Each structure stands twice: as C-alpha cells, then as structure tokens.
Amino acid sequence: MTFPLAADERSFPATPPSDLDDPEVIISNDRRAFEQLDWMKDHWDHDRWHEGYRAYYWMLSFPEAPDLMKLARRCQEALAPLGMDDVPEDGLHITMPKIGDAFEVGREHAERLATAAAGTLPGPFAIRAHPLTASHGAARFTVTPWRALVSLHQALTNATSAAGLPGGFPTRQFRPHLGVSYNNKRRSAFVVGTFLAPLRDLESVSLHISSVDLVELRREDTAYRWDVIASVPLALPARNDLLL
C-alpha cells in the first residue's frame, strides 16, 4: 500500500523520507532538514494555545516507558544550558490527528468517535525513538519506522471524517516525531546543533504501540497537558511483520 505523504512546506521536514521503513533514511532526512535551518523560532509564538483553549486530539502517550523517560531526561540535561522548555516525563507524546476545537466538538461527540473507531484501527506495532534532532521549534526524537504510524494516522483521520467531525491536517502532511524540549526564543540553529551532535551516539529505545488515546488537550504554562477521554486498543495485527 502506498501512503499519501507528500512534500509540503507546512510540515517539517517539508519533504518526507524516500523510504518509510528504513531507519537510516528517516533519521538522515530529519537531520538534513534541521541542518538546512539558519534559525529556530519560539515554539509558543502563536495565538491558538491561549489560556482557556481546548481541543480534541488523537495521541500516542507513554506513561509506562521508563527507558524513554530516562533517555529524554539525559538529553534534556545535555540541552540545559540552552534554557529550553523541557517536556515533562508524563508529557512525552506523539501527536496524531486533530479532531476539532472543544468549542465545536462536544465531549459526547468525542466519546462516540472513540466507540466508533474501536475495531477499525490497524494492529499493534513497535517503533524506536532515536536521539536527537530538532525542527523549527523543538528538540525531538526521530521515530522509526513510519509506515505503521502513517497507516494509523490515516485510519484515525478516516474515522474522524466518518463521524462528521472537523479533523485536522491530512495524512499527507504527517511527519511523526516525539518532542523533548520546546524552543522558547529565536536562536541559532547551528548553536543548537552543536548540543545535539554528541547525543546522537546514545542508544535508541523501543516503544510498543498497542492503543491510541483520544484526549482533550490544553496548554499549561510551557507544557501541553491533557485529559484522556478514551484509550482505544489497536486491533490484532493482520501481519506479524508489523512487529519489530
């Protein structure tokens, strides 16, 4: 199956990797995109995430992933001289499709969506989180491989659309990643790169994905927080080779 990823300047990297399965291709694509930046921007310099704003999202979270937390902490400690806003241990996540703003999507609609999506999603799979690269606004782990993540994003997008809810950006713009520290001012990408480079020798960690959360997301100071509305299990895998 060919997944609908496409070049898009609104995404980072703008050009998706040429291979969704090869970790080295994905890692190189992420790092090359960052190396082409001159400046990083303030992640919080936008109006949407004001106090009181709420939105429903699909999200992968990792409340029971001590190896991931340990690796994130190690990287945050190395980046500490930059004064970025670290993602809390219980805030590590991969953002999946948006469902809609809370003012246009009621909680009851979100709950019905979670029920409708159950049993329609792909099976469990495993990914790895690799240190460390960055985007315009954050230091982050590259995650590999992408194929199962893109398939899940498309399935969640389809379920959201079928429920008549607004949704977010299409799967062709999806670039899976896992944020570690948010950049909080305009700064030289080259300087940040000198902090990132030594961390790339750290071992990656494996993450098993067996469910996806439907959450009500908000911003609290310099972190994203959420309430889980429902945790939807992924269906049994149709093919064993989806598991690493």
User: In which element (H, E) is residue 192 found?
Assistant: helix 189-196
H/E element holding 100? strand 93-101
Question: How much is the pLDDT for 117?
Answer: 96
What ranges do the domains of the chain cover? 23-45+52-235
Query: What is the pTM for the complete model shown?
Result: 0.93
pLDDT at position 236 is 58
Tokens, residue 205:
């960690």
Q: Does the bond joining 13 to the residue before it have cis omega, within 30 degrees of 0?
A: yes
| CATH T-level topology, domain 23-45+52-235 | Cyclic Phosphodiesterase; Chain: A, (3.90.1140)
pLDDT on residue 194: 98
Distances in whole angstroms, Cα of residue 6 to Cα of each of 71, 74, 131, 218, 233: 31, 34, 25, 29, 28
Structure tokens at 31: 């790092």
Low-confidence ranges of the chain (pLDDT < 70): 1-3, 236-244
pLDDT at 244: 44
Backbone torsions φ then ψ of 140, nearest 5 degrees: -155, 160
The whole-number pLDDT of residue 237 equals 42
What is the C-alpha to C-alpha distance for residues 70 and 235, in angstroms, rounded to an integer? Answer: 29
C-alpha 130/C-alpha 140 separation (Å) is 9
